[in-house]
Structure 1
Amino acid sequence: MKASICVFTEVGELWNTSQIPHFNIFHQYGTNKSGGVCIAIGKHLKGSIIDLNIENTIIIDVDGLSKTVKTIAIYSSVGETRILGELEPYITKNTIITGDFNASVKEWGSTSADKRERILKEWVEKSNLCYIPSLSNCSERSNRNIDLTFTNLGGTRGETLKMGTSDHWPIMITCENLVFDKNSIFPHVHWKAYEAILTLLQSFWQKEQTRAMPMDDWCMNYVRFLVALEKQTDAM
């Protein structure tokens, strides 16, 4: 299974004891020691956290795809009263909201409904979001389908993956309307400018080489110069 964006709920106080190679991790604390949410963004993408003071909720703008995607992760504990309206100012186009809502909705895969059903359905409709069904129930222990995903991004689908040791099966969300933005992944160096500056400074570096400087130090300085020059011409 390969993923570029991962959402974790109920991460608890030990959320930072493990690392995911090649991912940047963003975290928000919960209302108790078992709560909290994380979003992990692959380092080939850029994640910008949105300033938000809501426990068990984190919002990241993800760049590096064909569209900037706003990813919202939520955990709602059983006894918690969520004010979903707090999120409405942050729902823009290309938004994906996913997490453990602890809400049972019969139309969304649960065998029965609970008291959160009406509130959640009304909020989803008001926010112009669509529920993304997965292929099967996400819970290993019950008939409640409480890990839910909503979006206004077309071409999105979900798949339940029956793997792992958690009592919640992971859900893979894919979107056929998103591709990697190659311009943001790979730098575009202005090689003509790079060559011109290198030529102009060639005599300087030759003189530096004749000074009473250890060759290793000269090589290190020259490599640093080349790296800095590449970054500078990349910005042109």
Structure 2
Amino acid sequence: MTTEPRVLPESLQPVPVPGWLDQVRDALTDTAGEGSDGQGSAITDVSFAALHAWHAGPVADLIAETAARHGTDMAPHEAVRALHARAATGEPVDEATWSAALEPALREIYRLAYPRARVHERSASAAASFARSRGWTDAEADRYGETYAALNTEVSDRVHAEANAIANAAAYARAFAAGDPKAYAEAWPYALVRAWVAACAGSADPDGPAAQEARNRLRDGLTDAVRRTSA
């Protein structure tokens, strides 16, 4: 009989969180590698002023276009844009103000980014297969699958958007209010950038031309924001 060596909790090393710039750069790398000019890889340091300018400009523009295309309320996104524009000039914005603006805007981003078509298809297929295994006819099973998938997708969509918005609004609010790059990295902006791209591209083609165009715009916009705030 053998036993595994005992590992003491204090001997375990925490997994380091990548810097926020590395996370963003990774999320903005398309399937072909770097962008057409490769400028994204040349950025080595970004101030919070540049970060806010990026959010207030290229990021907000992409989100506004996406919201307009889906006919959703623009007010939450414009409120976040306005806060980033203020912060880019060096004006302090407190954590509560950031959180109140970020939560409804993020809720909409995560709702638009949710892969509801794929979730619906999988739920319908699984539910229909279950019904057939219980002796239902194909027509009955298909109807049951569609009904189940509609309810499941609606609930999953809402829970996904709510949970992510609440948690991430709090994390980003703390980072933005403190101007803390480490706190921003620990909020995992990688995931948020991917949500922006998914919301813009749509779940039908998450890695297609629309997604690559969104990544290019965000990458070029970050390069430009760094250049302008460093001038």
TM range (shorter): under 0.3
Q: Which has the larger radius of gyration?
A: 1
Scaled by the length of structure 1, the TM-score of the pair is 0.23
Name the structure with the higher helix share: 2
Name the structure with the higher strand share: 1
- Whose RCO is larger (CA < 8 A, sep 6+)? 2
